[in-house]
Amino acid sequence: MALRGVLLLLFGVLLCVNVHGFQAVPVGGNGTLQVGYYWRTCPQAERIVKEEVAKAVFSNYGLAAGLVRLHFHDCFVKGCDGSVLIDSTSNNVAEKDAPPNNPSLRGFEVIDNAKARLESLCSGVVSCADILAFAARDSVQFSGGFPYKVPAGRKDGLISHANETISLPPPTSNLSQLTQMFANKGLSQGEMITLSGAHTIGRSHCSSFSKRLYNFSSTVSQDPSLDPIYASQLKLQCPNSNISANSTVSMDPRTPILMDTSYYSGILAHRGLFTSDQTLLSNSSTAALVQQNARNWWLFQRKFVAAIIKMGQIDVLTGSQGEIRANCRRIN
């Protein structure tokens, strides 16, 4: 109850935070992103998104993690263009229905609700890609992370194909694979480790890590890098059966709804849930960054804000590129 009270207070404070200002951020293509982009054309845009996120997260705290992950999965496939929001059709399987996204992605209805309000207020002005970036920011804040300003002006993409989700890092990735996949998006190894800290909130399906518990290799059934006590706890939640594949567990059982550094402390204790989490200890330089983040909450928060803002600029469409969708689920 005490934690719920703290989050209620946080919601109230953050709904009053002024997120506007003006600062241009050069990006690829034919334009720029800008903090306060909608200040003149739809001045209530960011407040409306924040209100919808607050309603959703207060009703279901898990949606905060869902919206942050939705933004990440959008940006890592064809850039931050809202293509992850597009529904499949009879002749196309969209990103949201690819195995890395379905059934685990969530929060689509929050974006829909914000978009509906914005269309009634200022039709054809605010892009779905920007709504998603704002919603991720608000989710970080409502989970106890630092407030930050989101450069906006993204346009919505016109294409969404399931086979392009191959660029998403799977939970089985090792350090070199993670480093390369983030480098492909212009993000450093340090930024990869920082953005992995988003795993401090949210839940995962048992199927994403069950191989570490029951079928790790031909010689050992359980991943030796996994703390045995933690492994035993996970086995209780995820029995070795097809029935448990869709069961979920907290990715950070200590503080599953708080954006803190407990995730990194868990990795140091060999309690990283995914292979892609525990692999961050694979060499001395990455292990040092994990230790740094675990020990310094303020530093981690500052680094996370910088990294997610940078991620939000991956291959964006601006200017005459793309469109402003009237409905985030389909192309105009």
By annotation, the residues acting in catalysis are: 73
Q: Cis omega before residue 171 (within 30°)? A: no
Contacts of 207 (CB under 8 A, 6+ apart): 245, 246
What the block records as the tokens of 260 is: 């803190």
**CA atoms of 282 and 279, how far apart (whole Å):** 5
Q: What distance separates the 2 farthest-apart alpha carbons in the chain? A: 63
**CA atoms of 37 and 45, how far apart (whole Å):** 10
Give strand ranges (E) for 11-59.
Answer: 23-26, 32-35
**CA atoms of 56 and 257, how far apart (whole Å):** 14
**CA atoms of 280 and 98, how far apart (whole Å):** 26
**CA atoms of 132 and 227, how far apart (whole Å):** 36
**CA atoms of 129 and 314, how far apart (whole Å):** 12
**CA atoms of 104 and 158, how far apart (whole Å):** 23
3-state secondary structure of 316: coil
Cβ–Cβ < 8 Å for 171, 104: no
CA-closest candidate to residue 280, choices 208, 221, 225: 225
Orientation angle between helical segments 2-14 and 128-142, nearest 10 degrees = 140
